[in-house]
Chain A
C-alpha cells in the first residue's frame, strides 16, 4: 500500500515568487491536511480538505491557498513568497479526519532566498 507522497522534496525559491506543492494521499483517504513546521513555531495547521471541500483553515494570510481534486490529491499554493515562509510543509491524510490519526508524507522543504 503506497504511503502519502509529497512532491517535490526540496524547493528553493526567490522572494516574491509563487510555489505549488503537491500531495497524493493514501488510496481511499478522503481527508488531507497541511501543516507548516518551523523550529520556532513548531507545527501550525494550514488547512484540511475532505472530499474536495475545505473543512477548516488555519491562521495564515491569504497568500496560502489549497485545493483538493476528485481523486483526493491535494495541492497548496503560496504566492508572493516571503523569507518567513521557509519551512517544512507536511501533508497528512486520514480516512475520516484528524481524530482518527494521520499518515504523513515526508514533507517538502521550502527555502525562500
Chain B
C-alpha cells in the first residue's frame, strides 16, 4: 500500500533561518511524483514544489528546495530565509503510476518566530 509519513507534527523556525521538514513514503511503483503543498490559515492549499521520481536532480522553487533520496524513499523540504508568511501547515503527497489520486501525509505545522 502507498503511504506517506511526516514524522514532525509541529516545527518552529526563527525568521530568516533555514528549516527542513521530513517526509518518507512507500510505493512499489517506479514512476511517480512527489509534492509539497502548503495550507495557510486561509485553508487554501497551495502547491510549493513538485518532483518527478525519474529526475535525479532535486527540484527548487526560489527559497524552497527538496532533498529527494529515491532509494531511501525520503523527500524532505528545505525552506531557506524563512519568512513570517511561510507559517502554515505543510503536507507531503505522493502520486504513483496510473493511480489518479494523491496520498497525503498528516502534515507538519510550521511556526515562524519573528
Contact = CB atoms under 8 A, between A and B. Distances in A.
Nearest to A44: B104
Given A99-B33, A99-B95, A48 B45 contact: no
A interface: dominant SS: strand
Nearest to B45: A104
Interface residues of B, number: 23
A90 B106 CA distance: 16
A105 interface: yes
B101 A58 contact: yes
Nearest to A58: B101
B44 A104 contact: yes
A33 B107 CA distance: 20
B43 A33 contact: no
B50 interface: yes
Nearest to B42: A106
B46 A101 contact: no
Interface string A70-106: 0000000000000000001010100001111111111
Interface of B: 32-33, 35, 37, 42-47, 50, 91, 93, 95, 99-107
